[in-house]
Amino acid sequence: MNSENAELFDVLRHLDTEQRNPNTMHIDLADADEIVRLINQEDKKVASNVAERSDQIAKAIEIVSSALSIGGRLRYFGAGTSGRLGVLDAAECPPTFGSDPEEVKGIIAGGEKAMFVAQEGAEDSPEYGAADVQKEGISKIDVVCGLAASGRTPYVHGALNEAAKCGAKTIMICCVPASQVSLDVDVDVMIDMPVGPEAIMGSTRMKSGTAQKLVCNMITTGAMIRRGKIYENVMVDLQLTNKKLVERARRIIMLFSEVNYDRASELLQITDGRVKPALLMALSGVDFEKAEKLLASHNGFIRAALKSQAE
């Protein structure tokens, strides 16, 4: 064994994500019902692991929200399952919140083909991570979030190092204790969630994947809420890209106002399918031009716009 292999072997030997789970030692002998029970018992622990990092997640939300409000972007960088989760979270933002696809994007080691077929070795190069940051044109108004269950993925480390050089804010999401993560830079937010050994040793698409998915959801959802994309607890900036979403938009307008189905349809037609100004028109009686001005002057928040009309 050469020195490089010996060093990696030693690191992996001590990582939480590479340990055997004492609760599932006999899962290979279990029937289907027992397999489900054992995996579910481990999955139940994830939410509490995430809850222990509430303060850090909230800080990440504020950083991302502030960046987006001044034209910055959020970029996830990850490999394998972690990379796919970043791409997934980013892809769901435009239809959910009406955001520009360029605002939030996931970058996976090995490129687009790695979404569907594992690209072996792509995660082992910090240079690839740095190069992808450069390709994205990361600057000081952007946020780079590294996703790595083990906390050690060289590709992610390279991306975070390069992002720091560019002056961008940096976030690290991992599923081992921070003490097991050796970064060359001090990230702005460290979200370490020690979920413990997986039900199947080293299969970080399980608890680790679930934990990362929860946190990514919180960060982008929280940032969008802070930018006025939600009214009460309802999405009001969704993009009407299919029939289901068109009907949901009509229902949202009818839910909060006294207009009927036909009037809701008319308002959406006037606003070219934009739910937020259509809803404000229904609630306040203003025309489209006035609704646009009110939303612009209140940073997109419907409650604030309505309050200003009532005063």
> Helices marked H in the chain — which ranges?
3-14, 32-43, 46-51, 54-69, 80-91, 93-97, 126-135, 154-165, 207-225, 243-256, 261-270, 275-284, 288-297, 302-310
Nearest Cα residue to 111 out of 81, 74, 79: 79
Q: Is 202 helix (H, G, I), strand (E, B) or coil?
A: coil
* Token code pair at residue 105: 């994007």
Q: Work out the average pLDDT over 214-219.
A: 98
pLDDT tens digits, residue range 253-294? Answer: 999 998 999 999 999 999 999 999 999 999 999 999 999 999
Confidence band (pLDDT; 50, 70, 90) for 12?
low
* Residues annotated as part of the active site: 92, 123
Q: Which helix (H) or strand (E) element contains residue 106?
A: strand 104-108
Distance CA 130, CA 71 (A): 22
* Residue 79 scores a pLDDT above 90: yes
Q: Work out the average pLDDT over 291-305.
A: 94
- What pLDDT is stored for residue 111 in this prediction? 86
Confidence band (pLDDT; 50, 70, 90) for 3?
low
Q: Work out the average pLDDT over 103-115.
A: 91
Confidence band (pLDDT; 50, 70, 90) for 8?
low
Instruction: Please give the domain boundaries of the chain with CATH numbers for all domains.
Output: 10-225 (3.40.50.10490), 230-310 (1.10.8.1080)
DSSP state for residue 311 in the 8-state scheme: -
Distance CA 92, CA 289 (A): 29
Q: What is the pTM of this model?
A: 0.90
* Residue 239 scores a pLDDT above 90: no
Q: Work out the average pLDDT over 21-41.
A: 96
* Residue 51 scores a pLDDT above 60: yes
User: What average pLDDT does the structure give for the chain?
Assistant: 92
How many residues would you count in the chain?
311
Which amino acid belongs to residue 209?
A: G
Distance CA 179, CA 3 (A): 23
pLDDT tens digits, residue range 251-263? Answer: 999 999 989 999 9
* Token code pair at residue 150: 């083990």
302 vs 120, which has greater pLDDT?
302
* Residue 73 scores a pLDDT above 70: yes
Are 107 and 83 in contact, with CB atoms under 8 Å apart?
A: yes
Q: Residue 14 phi/psi, 5° resolution?
A: -105, -10
Residue for token pair 């100004």: 277
* Residue 173 scores a pLDDT above 80: yes
pLDDT tens digits, residue range 113-169? Answer: 878 877 667 788 999 999 999 999 999 999 999 999 999 999 999 999 999 999 999
Confidence band (pLDDT; 50, 70, 90) for 226?
very high
* Token code pair at residue 280: 């404000």
Q: Work out the average pLDDT over 72-96.
A: 96
- What pLDDT is stored for residue 266 in this prediction? 96
Percent of the chain topping pLDDT 70: 94
- What pLDDT is stored for residue 123 in this prediction? 86
Which amino acid belongs to residue 92?
A: E
